[in-house]
Amino acid sequence: MKVIIPLAGKGTRLRPHTHVVPKPMLKVAGRPVMSYVMDDVRKLGNVDQVVYITGHLKEKVEAFARTAYDLPSVFIEQDVQDGTAGAVARAKDYIDAPVLIIFVDTIFDADLGIIKDSQDDGIIWTKDVEDYQRFGVVVTDGNGHMTRIVEKPTEPISTRANIGLYYIRNWQLLLEGIAHVLTTQPHKGEWYLTDAFQYMIDKGAKLKVVDVEGWYDAGQLSTLLDTNRVMLEKGRARVPASLGDGATVIDPVYIEDGCVIEHATVGPNVSLGAGSTVRNATVRDTIAGLQVTIRNASLHDAFLGDHVRVQGVSGSMSIGDHSEIRGEG
């Protein structure tokens, strides 16, 4: 089996952080978002090759993937942001077996092992949601096979959101569908992979729809912080044996070794990178990178990059690497 991972996007909704860090490498609960997905891929054990479709900050993505995962890999640049179908099309020379396609700006709880016994042409994983109007939703027939995907419906024709996780056993028809899509008029400059799936269905393919137990978005600040909370609650929390005088920790938190917390309260739902210091402050619902200093401050719902200094302020904020915010405190 081949695995295709498109991650060329610029992550504009998470700027300024994505100016210097690729969106899939932003950390929640102390780990890059994409690492949660890649751990599931590695567990499959039958991966012949991973094809990374890179773009923005491609050197950082490639360096991380080569260092963190001992899987046969190839890296292809998507030099023009022409959509999800355009991304997968760049991997066509490497697709000669069933493919698992994963968009790694989310984390999911899914049993990927079911692909080993699947006899359908493919599987599309979904998540049942209440706010279906925000998503592309998958419509199914009575046998649980996809009939179509509708983007941001106004009527509740389905509440099963498309989460960007697909297994395609009939890879030949997938390539045919992508080739067809690329001959059509793009939508605001982009071709969608879901249109290739619709082509497959129109040609008689059976794409099974399977709900995941959990789906956690990391594509914008509010959802990234919420996903950090979920990962902490699901077992990623940790507290070093030694912190500092007057340290109060409210679980769950992820605090790396070497952090100093003095006369301060940290938590709940805080991830604090190595070498960081919190003094005379309160911090909750926050992700802070490496070597961050927080003094005389009260922070909540904040996202701080590496080497950030915050002093004498209160509230919610999103601050990029090597920045300094000073108030009167």
**pLDDT for residue 329:** 54
Residue found by looking up tokens 């979904």 in the block: 126
- What is the per-residue pLDDT across 104-150, written as a single tens digit (0 to 9) for each? 888 888 888 899 888 899 999 999 888 777 778 899 998 999 998 88
Query: What is the rounded CA–CA span in Å between residue 259 and residue 118?
Result: 47
- What is the per-residue pLDDT across 30-63, written as a single tens digit (0 to 9) for each? 999 888 888 888 888 888 899 999 888 888 888 8
**pLDDT for residue 8:** 80
Query: What is the rounded CA–CA span in Å between residue 95 and residue 90?
Result: 10
**CA distances from residue 12 to 16, 22, 49, 85, 204 in whole angstroms, order as listed:** 8, 10, 29, 20, 38
In this structure, which long-range contacts are made by residues 226-233, counting pairs with CB atoms below 8 Å and at least 24 apart in sequence?
227/28, 227/33, 227/107, 228/28, 228/29, 228/269, 228/271, 228/287, 229/268, 229/269, 229/285, 231/28, 231/29, 231/31, 231/36, 231/107, 232/29, 232/268, 232/269, 232/271
**How do the pLDDT tens digits run along the chain, 329 residues long?**
899 999 888 777 888 888 888 888 889 999 998 888 888 888 888 888 999 998 888 888 888 888 888 888 899 988 888 888 999 999 999 999 999 999 888 888 888 889 988 889 999 999 988 877 777 889 999 899 999 888 777 777 888 888 889 999 999 999 999 999 999 988 888 898 999 999 999 999 999 999 998 888 877 788 889 999 999 999 899 999 888 899 999 999 999 999 999 999 998 999 999 999 999 999 999 999 999 999 999 999 999 999 999 999 999 999 999 999 998 75
Which two structure tokens, joined as six digits, stand for 70? 């001992």
The domain segmentation of the chain, as residue ranges, is 2-221, 238-326
What pTM was computed for the model?
Answer: 0.88
How distant is the alpha carbon of residue 6 from its chain centre? 11
Selected from 2.160.10.10, 2.40.50.140, 3.40.640.10, 3.20.20.300, the CATH number assigned to the domain covering 238-326 reads 2.160.10.10
Pick from 328, 329, 294: nearest CA to 317: 294
Strand 27-28 and strand 31-32: the pairing is: antiparallel
- What is the per-residue pLDDT across 76-89, written as a single tens digit (0 to 9) for each? 988 888 888 999 99
**pLDDT for residue 300:** 96
**pLDDT for residue 270:** 97
Strand partners, 238: 254
Q: Which helix (H) or strand (E) holds 227?
A: helix 221-231
DSSP 235: I
Class of domain 2-221: alpha beta
